[in-house]
Amino acid sequence: MRIIIRRLAFYIATAILAVTVVFFIPRLMPGNPVEAVLAQLHGTVTPATIRSLELQYGLNNPEGLWGQYLTYWSHLLHGNLGVSTSYYPSTVTSVIRSALPWTLGLVGVATIISFVLGTLLGILVAWRRGTWLDNLLPATTFFQAAPYFFVAFLALDLFSTRLGWFPSGRAYGQLDFPGWNAAYIGDVLDHAILPAATIVLCSAAGWIVGMRNVMVTTMDEDYVLVAMAKGLAKRRVVWYAARNAILPSVSGFSLAIGFVVSGALLTEIVFSYPGLGWILLQAVGARDYPLLQGIFLIITFAVLLANLAADSVYVFLDPRTRQEA
Amino acid sequence: MSIGTGTDLGGTGLGGVGVGGAGTGGSDPASEPIGGPLQPPVLAPGRARRMQLPRSPKIVAGLVILIVFLIMAIVGPIVAPYDPSASLSTTNGTPQPPSAAHWLGTTQTQQDVFSQLLVGARSTILVALLSGVAATILSVLIGVSAGYLRGRWADDFLSMLANFFLVMPALPLLIVIFGFLPPSQNTDDVLIGLIIAITGWAWGARVLRAQTLSLRSRDYVESARIIGERGWRVIGFEILPNLAPVVASSFLFTVLYGVGTYTALAFLGLINPLHWSWGSMLFEAQGSSAEISGYWWWYIPPGLAVAFLGTSLALLNFGIDEFINPRLRAAGVTRRRAKKAGDKGLPRRFELGVTPVVRTTAPGSTPAAAGAAMADRTQEQPS
């Protein structure tokens, strides 16, 4: 338990650092963000909005840097991330709230599938090393190195445009929300298969190689030899080895999850999927700074939460961490 | 308090996951008994070993592809047949498929895709290499000092800094930074490379710290210290040379990261699209829905180029991993290859509990020697 609390403290510190970084970037960068924003709005803003934007980016602000920083925190804790300039007059919070469920559903499910599938395949490849399964490794190298969105391009062109098996983007067919009936859910799933498959294909490669490499080393341990000598079933021996080999995979989760989420956001763009990636593209195109910052914070918080979950799983898997307390 | 330096995040077991960073950190050569008469190669990077390095087919393939791309980056903009930004015809509004005049076809505005690919190679590879060099310098400085100063507050601080950067999602952070960068400055390849490096050094620093920790307690380092050598000399002459494979691997990893990140940033339109790179080609293609309209010649060349460049770096990385950890090498030896080596004593399949280790053979010896070396290790196996 102590270890979880220590990790929690670390993640909270990281979150505070992330907020601080996001607060200071616009103030340290050359150029005037407010003018850039106003250029996008084409005179549709009231003087009050201009004033609030100026305050947000520290121009003509009487509060001083520290005061602005505290105000930023106070707004943040009240869920106020400012007004989106590209979706004006919607607030950043409401824009993110409408996109977040799609991303959580797509990326969350795809990440879990790819972790489980990749780990299992990694075990299999390590166990059956020296057979044809080794040929899987060069292919995984390619998918590891290819940008997610390029694979998404290929998937869309092949399976949607040419073969017509899947819809060519968006998350559902109808324009308005018909309610949670079977047809709607089926439609949503139909639209999610191709982007999810892309994410799984690209991210599973990393888990396969990682698991395989640790597994190859673990299978040499003396306890595995003893288990074999005792005459345990091979399946069982592999299970014992795999339980130990999976630990680095789980602890390396923090490094991988950032890559997977970033890649998944770009995949969403290719599929016009109405999640965070898609509004991120809009925000970049319109230089919508409040929205950009909001998306960064939300993604960071989500990644930190996923890390905390992975740490909890780690404590569950590795009895040594529990004995310490 | 040192967060994330010991058991809590499995400090040494990190390298197994992620893009291309396979197993470097996952196997700590110091703490792990490697069977047979083989010494951990990290200890003895003598001249003979360095000569053997390019023998692995992975390293050869990786090097060949990489050199092709490097040549492309150097001569690409010179030999490009057209100006990549010039519209070659104002009357035609649909991309033209590959032809004799345009080897890779044209874009929506009748720009030559082949020229864009050649011109874009330089910026893409330059940014990736720059970010790799800068991030590696940062990670060596921070990782090795943290490892050498084990347990002091400086180590705690540097490790914590590295952990912050590891956990914080890099791409969204870069998007915010580049979003605020004035458009006049976001075409400077050096600046782009340096900014990417800020988010890319942490992984290498962490692996190097773990490796330095294990090296600094070795006898030869201890004795160098007892003799009275200064700190910088111990680091520079005793520790750093033995970190070479790990530094190389970390360099390749960050170059790989640089390629992917720069391409992603350009794909999002954060870099001026007229500053040609493979990412900005993909940005243009996505903007014109090339993937839905079936204009494959527009998006496949830059995408494949990024993928193959990444693959070559990952292959080199695997080669270095196998150099560091002989077991990974042995795992790739197939029955057929062993048979070709003329060894009949090899089991039908490698059993659990024993992995034959390919013994590094003297230059000029036959593959059979490698097979024989394997066999003497497999004899221990219960039959």
End-to-end C-alpha distance for chain A, whole angstroms: 7
Tokens of B234: 């111990």
**Cβ of B267 under 8 Å from any chain A Cβ?**
yes
- Residue A91 phi, psi (nearest 5): -85, 160
Give pLDDT, residue B57: 76
pLDDT > 70 fraction of chain B, expressed in percent and rounded: 68
Average pLDDT, rounded, for chain B: 71
Higher pLDDT, B269 or B326: B269
Nearest-CA distance from A121 to chain B in Å?
A: 14
Q: With CA atoms as reference, report the closest residue to B243 among B202, B200, B214.
A: B214
CB-based contact A217 B32, cutoff 8 Å: yes
- Minimum Cα–Cα distance from B315: chain A residue: A141
**Range with the poorest average pLDDT among A56-65, B77-86, B125-134, B186-195:** A56-65
- Calculate ∠ Cα A299-A300-A301, nearest 5°: 90
Residue B236: DSSP 8-state: I
- B331 CB neighbours in chain A (<8 A) are 126, 129-130, 134, 216
Residues B329, B374: contact at Cβ < 8 Å?
no
**Rounded Cα distance, B27 and B13, in Å:** 7
Q: What are phi and psi of B112, to 5 degrees?
A: -80, 120
pLDDT in tens, A184-221: 777 777 777 888 888 888 888 888 888 888 888 787 77
The mean per-residue pLDDT over the stretch B298-320 comes to 85
d(CA A287, CA B84): 26
CB interface of A with B, residues 103-132, below 8 Å: 126-131
> A85-94, B190-199, B306-315: lowest mean pLDDT where?
A85-94
Residues of chain A with Cβ-Cβ distance to B307 below 8 Å are: 142, 145-147, 150
Q: How far is CA B57 from CA A10, A73, A288, A309, B255, in A?
A: 43, 55, 49, 40, 21
Distance between CA atoms of A306 and A11, rounded to whole angstroms?
A: 11
Nearest to A304 among B14, B35, B167 (CB): B167
Binary contact (A285, B269; C-beta < 8 A): yes
Please judge whether B26 and A247 are an interchain contact, meaning their C-beta atoms are less than 8 angstroms apart. Answer: no
What is the Cα A309 distance to its own chain's centre?
14
Which carries the bigger pLDDT value, residue B138 or residue B339? Answer: B138
Do the chains contact at B27 and A217, CB–CB below 8 Å?
yes
Candidates B168, B298, B327: best to mutate against A (most CBs of A within 10 A) is B168
Per-residue pLDDT tens for B1-60? 333 333 333 333 333 333 333 333 333 333 333 333 333 444 444 444 444 455 677 788
- How far apart (Å, rounded) are the C-alpha atoms in residues A10 and B331? 38
The encoded tokens of residue B263 equal 């391409």
Contact A134 B334 (CB under 8 A): yes
Q: Inspect the interface and report whether the beta carbons of B307 and A17 lie closer than 8 Å.
A: no
CA distance B329 to chain A (A): 10
As a whole number of angstroms, the distance between CA A54 and CA A76 comes to 17
Q: Within an 8 Å CB–CB cutoff, is residue B56 touching chain A?
A: no
Q: Is the pTM of this model over 0.80?
A: no
Contact B349 A18 (CB under 8 A): no
Alpha helices in chain B (DSSP H): 47-52, 57-79, 113-148, 153-167, 170-180, 189-198, 202-216, 219-227, 231-233, 244-267, 278-287, 290-293, 296-324, 326-331, 335-340, 367-378
Q: Which two tokens stand for residue A276?
A: 């965070």
Do B353 and A219 make contact, defined as CB atoms within 8 angstroms? yes
Contacts of B15 in chain A (CB under 8 A): 252
Least confident of A210-219, B284-293, B356-365: B356-365
DSSP state of B234: I
DSSP A90: S
pLDDT score, position B133 = 93
Nearest alpha-carbon partner for A135 in A242, A244, A212, A217:
A212
CB contact under 8 A, B291 and A156: yes
Contact B168 A17 (CB under 8 A): yes
Q: Please calculate the CA angle A255-A257-A258 and round it to the nearest 5 degrees.
A: 75
What is the rounded CA–CA span in Å between residue A160 and residue A157? 6
Greater confidence, B32 or A112? A112
Mean pLDDT along residues B187-196: 86
- DSSP code for B381: S
Query: What secondary structure does DSSP assign to A236-304, as a single string?
Result: HHHHHHHHHHHHHHHHTHHHHHHHHHHHHHHHHHHTT-TTHHHHHHHHHHTT-HHHHHHHHHHHHHHHH
pLDDT confidence tier of residue A233, bands split at 50, 70 and 90: confident
Distance from CA of A153 to the nearest CA of B (A): 6
* A192/B contact by beta carbon, under 8 A: no
Residues 323-342 of B with CB under 8 A from A: 325, 327-328, 331-335
B233 Cα to chain A: minimum distance (Å): 33
Q: In sequence order, what are the residues at sequence separation of 6 or more whose Cβ sits closer than 8 angstroms to the Cβ of residue A72? A: A19, A23
Who has greater pLDDT, A57 or B152? B152
pLDDT at B366 over 70: no
Question: Taking 50 as the threshold, does the pLDDT of residue B379 lie above it?
Answer: no
Residue A279 has φ and ψ, to the nearest 5°, of -70, -25
Reported ipTM: the value is: 0.81
Identify the pLDDT of residue B135. 92
Chain A residues with CB under 8 Å of B182 CB are 29-31
Sort out which chain A residues have CB atoms less than 8 A from B328's CB and list them: 213, 216-217
Torsion angle defined by CA atoms of residues B189, B192, B193 and B198, in that order, rounded to the nearest 10 degrees: 160
Left, alpha or beta for B19 (phi > 0: left; psi -120 to 50: alpha)?
Answer: beta
Instruction: Confirm or reject contact between B161 and chain A (CB < 8 A).
Output: no
Mean pLDDT of A105-129: 85
From CA B270, how far away is CA B70, in angstroms rounded?
25
Q: Cβ of B214 under 8 Å from any chain A Cβ?
A: no
pLDDT of A30? 67
Cβ B17–A229 below 8 Å, yes or no?
no
pLDDT at B118: 85
User: A40 pLDDT band (50/70/90 cuts)?
Assistant: low
Q: Do B20 and B314 form a contact (C-beta atoms < 8 A)? A: yes
Q: How confident is the model at residue B137 (pLDDT cuts 50, 70, 90)?
A: very high
Q: State the Cα–Cα distance between residues A253 and A122, nearest whole angstrom.
A: 15
Interface mutation vs chain B, best among A132, A153, A284, A298, most B CBs within 10 Å: A153
Residues in CB range of B354: below 8 A, 6 or more apart: A220, A225, B377, B378, B380, B381
Report helix angle A182-218 to A253-270, nearest 10: 140
Percent of chain A with pLDDT over 70: 84
What was the pLDDT predicted at B130?
A: 92
Minimal Cβ distance to B328: which of A216, A227, A303? A216
On chain B, the residues whose CB falls within 8 A of the CB of A311 are 8-9
Segment among B1-15, B277-291, B352-366 with least mean pLDDT: B1-15
Q: How far is B113 from chain A (nearest CA, A)?
A: 16
Preferred mutation among A103, A144, A322 to probe B, highest tally of B CBs within 10 A: A144
pLDDT beyond 80 at B280: yes
Question: Residue A244: exposed, middle, or buried by beta-carbon count in 10 A (0-12, 13-18, 19+)?
Answer: middle
Q: Which SS3 state, helix, strand or coil, does residue B356 take?
A: coil
How many helices, marked H, and strands, marked E, lie in chain A?
14, 0
Peptide bond into A89 cis (omega under 30): yes
pLDDT of B340:
54
Cβ(A99)–Cβ(A276) below 8 Å? yes
> What pLDDT score was predicted for residue B134?
93
Nearest Cα residue in chain B from A164: B292
B4 inside 8 A of chain A by CB: yes
Tens digits of residue pLDDT in A70-92: 887 888 888 777 777 777 677 88
A225 inside 8 A of chain B by CB:
yes
Cβ within 8 Å of A, B 67-126: none
How many angstroms separate the CA atoms of A63 and B258, rounded?
39
Cα–Cα distance measured from residue B241 to residue A264, given in angstroms and rounded to the nearest whole number: 39
A268 at the B interface (CB within 8 A)? no
Q: Phi, psi at residue B382, to the nearest 5°?
A: -70, 130
Structure tokens at A287: 């230089």
Q: B112 by DSSP, 3-state: which? A: strand
Residues of chain A contacting B172 with CB distance shorter than 8 Å: 262, 265, 280, 295-296, 299-300
How far apart CA A248 and CA B167 sit, in angstroms, is: 16
Closest Cβ–Cβ partner in B13, B167, B171 for A248: B13
Q: Which residue has the tokens 């490499």?
A: A213
